[in-house]
Every structure is written in C-alpha cells, then in structure tokens.
Chains A and B, each alone.
Chain A
C-alpha cells in the first residue's frame, strides 16, 4: 500500500529523505503547476514558481503540523510564491497587465482550444477572484481550505468564488452565442 502524504512528510522531516519528498512532488506537481499556470497564465514562469514552491516546502516541511491537508499547505506556499513574484514586478497590476497581453503569446499554440478559452475567461476576473476560483475549481479545495491558504476571510473567498463563477458563466454564454 502506498504511503500517505502524512507518512511521507514525517519521513522527510525525520530523515530529510529526498526520495520521499520526490514522491510528494510527483503526487502534487499537477495540482501546483496547473494552479500557478491558471493564476499567472505563463507556463514557463508557472513552472519556475512551482519549482520554488516545492523547494520552499522542503525547507520548511517541519512547520507542517498536519492539522490541515498537505495539499492546502502546499497551495498556500504556492500562493505566497505567486504573490512574491508579483511584488517583484513592483505591482500586481503591472504584472497582470503583462500577463493579459494575449494568451501565451510567447508560446506556440497548443492543441487545446478549451485551455485557451479557459485562460481567456480567467483573464476577465479580478486577481482575487481568479485565485479563489482556481483554488476551488482547479485544486478542488473547499472554501475554508482556500481561505486558509490565501489568508482571506471565509466570507470573502465565498463571494470571490461566486462573483468569479458568474463572470465565467457570462463569458462562456456570450462566447457560445457568438459562435452560433
């Protein structure tokens, strides 16, 4: 039987076992990378941030108390890395502007119409709404887990999710009407 996240975490804390940590990376890399890709809409930057997230997680794994899920703890680190990256570019608005200049202009078009649509739709949301929607729909986190990971009050997360969801629904409905 495969070891649980908590067992692997305990092993890493006790022995700094990089193979055990590698297993945790393998299990959660999709979650963290897709979350960051949807948040910052730049695949290369998202992968760099995801790498920093796991390295930071390894360094401070002793602070994981096991009260919440490992997934939420990891997502909160990823969110912090995302915010730090945004701050490095002086202001989140400037960063967002940069990200919103076309979808992955620097990358070759992928064979995934849905992904491009999704990224375009997410671009219509405010930063906080996008973060909340991505955490709840992409990472499968509950509202309270998302609140814990972002440090936002639960009510705020709920309203960001609802508003973001309504905007996405409006975007897709409009897109469908245009196609017809």
Chain B
C-alpha cells in the first residue's frame, strides 16, 4: 500500500465515521418520516396564503362581472353569438369563476423556486 493509498483509506474512514450517527435506525427513520410527512402535507401556510389571495381576487372579480357582461354587445353572427345563446350571463360568470378557481388550483401545488 502506497502512502497515497494509505491516506485515501484514512480519509474515507474519517468520512465514514462522520456519517455513522446518521446511519442509526432512529435518525434514519425520523428523517425519512419527516420527508414523507412533508410530501403528504404540503406547507399549510402557503396553501392558506395563496388560497386566501385567490379567493379574494375571485370575489373582487366576481363583483365586476355584472358590469362587464351587462354592457356586452352580443354579436349576431359567429361563434360568440352561438355561445351567448347557449349561455346565460350567470353561466358565463360561473365559467369565469371556475377559470379563476382553476388558476388558483394550478398555482397551489407549485413550490417557490
């Protein structure tokens, strides 16, 4: 065994000794459980903040819907004309709210980088 090999072995042994406490069953299990718990229960604070912000935004947007759809000039031809016959203003408002809720649902599971 050369001097270099001997030092390499010694270095590896020192790193292994340093990692030993982390290999203990209790430490390993506790760590794994904390990770799994975090995966199963995403950050509640984040959900509350984003959910609250999304709901407030949706509520404010909802109050504006009447004025937006009230003054709408419904075209007599084309796709929008067909849609306006099929959908009452309430349905359009519900669709807009659904889109807003969908956007919140899309953002919620994402983690901030």
A21-B39, A51-B38, A168-B11 known; A33+B18 contact, CB < 8 A: no
Contact segment of B28-36, B59-67, B84-92, B98-106:
B28-36
Q: Which of A53-61, A123-131, A142-150 contacts B (4 or more CB under 8 A)?
A: A53-61
Q: Is A138 in the interface zone, CB < 8 Å from B?
A: yes
Is A69's beta carbon under 8 Å from chain B?
no
Q: Could you tell me if A34 and B36 are in contact, using CB atoms closer than 8 angstroms? A: no
Q: How many residues of B contact A (CB 8 A)?
A: 25
- Whether a CB of chain A sits under 8 angstroms from the CB of B68 is no
Q: Does B76 lie at the interface of the complex (its beta carbon under 8 Å from any beta carbon of A)?
A: no
Cα(A30)–Cα(B32), bound, Å: 10
> Which A residues are CB-close (under 8 A) to B40?
18
Q: B22, A33: Cβ atoms under 8 Å?
A: yes
Q: Contact between A112 and B31 (Cβ–Cβ < 8 Å)?
A: no
User: Shortest Cβ distance from B11 into chain A, in angstroms?
Assistant: 5
A26 CA to B12 CA, complexed, in Å: 22
A residues apposed to B, CB below 8 Å: 18-19, 21-22, 25-26, 29-31, 33-34, 37-38, 47, 50-51, 54-56, 58-59, 110, 112, 114-115, 117-119, 134, 137-138, 140, 165, 168-169, 172
